[in-house]
Amino acid sequence: MALRIMVVDDEPAVLKLIKGLIEQLGCEVLAIADSREAALRVNTDKFDGVLLDGNMPHLDGFALTQKLRSSPANSRVPIVMLTGDGDAETMRKAFKAGITFFLSKPVSLERLSGLVRVMRGPMLKERRRCARLPYCTKVACRSGTREFQAQSVDISERGILMEGTDGINRGDELGLGFVIGPAPKTVRVQAKVVRKESSGRIGLEFINLDAEARLAIQNFIAGRTAG
């Protein structure tokens, strides 16, 4: 599956050029000229990486970076700032805002190709972290003194979706226990309810996933997504 990149630049000619260059590298590109639209998309879409202009009307690259870093879906994606201001102070401001890489204009295919190669590792790592795969198993749950059994629907490194959790609401914390992995491993973890669907299903985010439990989930996801 191609890496999905969002490019944001208020100059249509520059936006078209960068979009074409990145597409030549085999990536899927969403090109947006209005940073306000981009700010809305970061809360509804998941991207593998973002390239944005530093100087834009409405929301400049620094403000848009802050929006990205505070969004649930894209808080950890690599962000590249494209700008004609290559001075040290601008670079310090960019990195402080949360920029991962800094690339001065004008942009060439050769320079973009090198940058995308460097970004590929972090982008694939972020994609695996957010990959949510179907996983149906019994989950032992504990909420205060109450103990019950629920059913998982899917899982990622970040959390788990479950059903059969009547009486559990957004903001509640649960102790969970379930078995996962090609070499079955019992995972015990604390999780917080961050979403409750109309169907009654709840989305939980892991809040203390230790290294051993994380590895078991990573191995499960890697085994299911290989190839």
Q: How far apart are CA 165 and CA 195, in angstroms?
A: 12
Residue 142: strand, helix, or coil: strand
Same domain, 62 and 114: yes
Q: Is 92 exposed, middle or buried (0-12, 13-18, 19+ CB in 10 A)?
A: exposed
Residue 109: strand, helix, or coil: helix
Lowest mean pLDDT among 58-62, 90-94, 196-200: 90-94
Where do the H-state alpha helices sit in the chain?
A: 12-23, 35-41, 61-69, 88-97, 109-130, 211-225
Does the pLDDT of residue 38 top 50, yes or no?
A: yes
Same domain, 67 and 122: yes
Same domain, 142 and 120: no
Which CATH number goes with the domain that contains 203? 2.40.10.220
Paired strand residues for 79:
50
Phi first, then psi: what are they for 213, rounded to 5°? -65, -40
Task: Express as a percent the part of the chain with pLDDT over 90.
Answer: 46
Does the pLDDT of residue 227 top 50, yes or no?
A: no
Does the pLDDT of residue 25 top 70, yes or no?
A: yes
Does the pLDDT of residue 48 top 70, yes or no?
A: yes
pLDDT-based confidence at 56, cuts 50/70/90? very high
Same domain, 97 and 170: no
Same domain, 119 and 148: no
pTM (predicted TM-score): 0.63
18: region left, alpha or beta (phi > 0 left; psi from -120 to 50 alpha)? alpha
Where do the H-state alpha helices sit in 98-162?
A: 109-130
Q: How many domains does the chain have?
A: 2
Which CATH number goes with the domain that contains 113? 3.40.50.2300
Same domain, 93 and 44: yes
Whether residue 106 is preceded by a cis peptide bond, meaning omega within 30 degrees of 0, is yes
pLDDT in tens, 156-175: 888 999 999 888 998 999 99
Does the pLDDT of residue 8 top 90, yes or no?
A: yes
pLDDT computed for residue 115 by the predictor: 87
pLDDT computed for residue 225 by the predictor: 44
Does the pLDDT of residue 98 top 70, yes or no?
A: yes
pLDDT computed for residue 186 by the predictor: 87
- Last residue of one domain, picked from the residues 130, 160, 177: 130
Same domain, 26 and 113: yes
Domain of 37 in residue numbering reads as: 4-130
- Last residue of one domain, picked from the residues 95, 130, 165: 130
pLDDT-based confidence at 224, cuts 50/70/90? low
Cα 136 from chain centroid? Answer: 23
pLDDT computed for residue 1 by the predictor: 64
Same domain, 81 and 159: no
98: region left, alpha or beta (phi > 0 left; psi from -120 to 50 alpha)? left
Same domain, 219 and 112: no
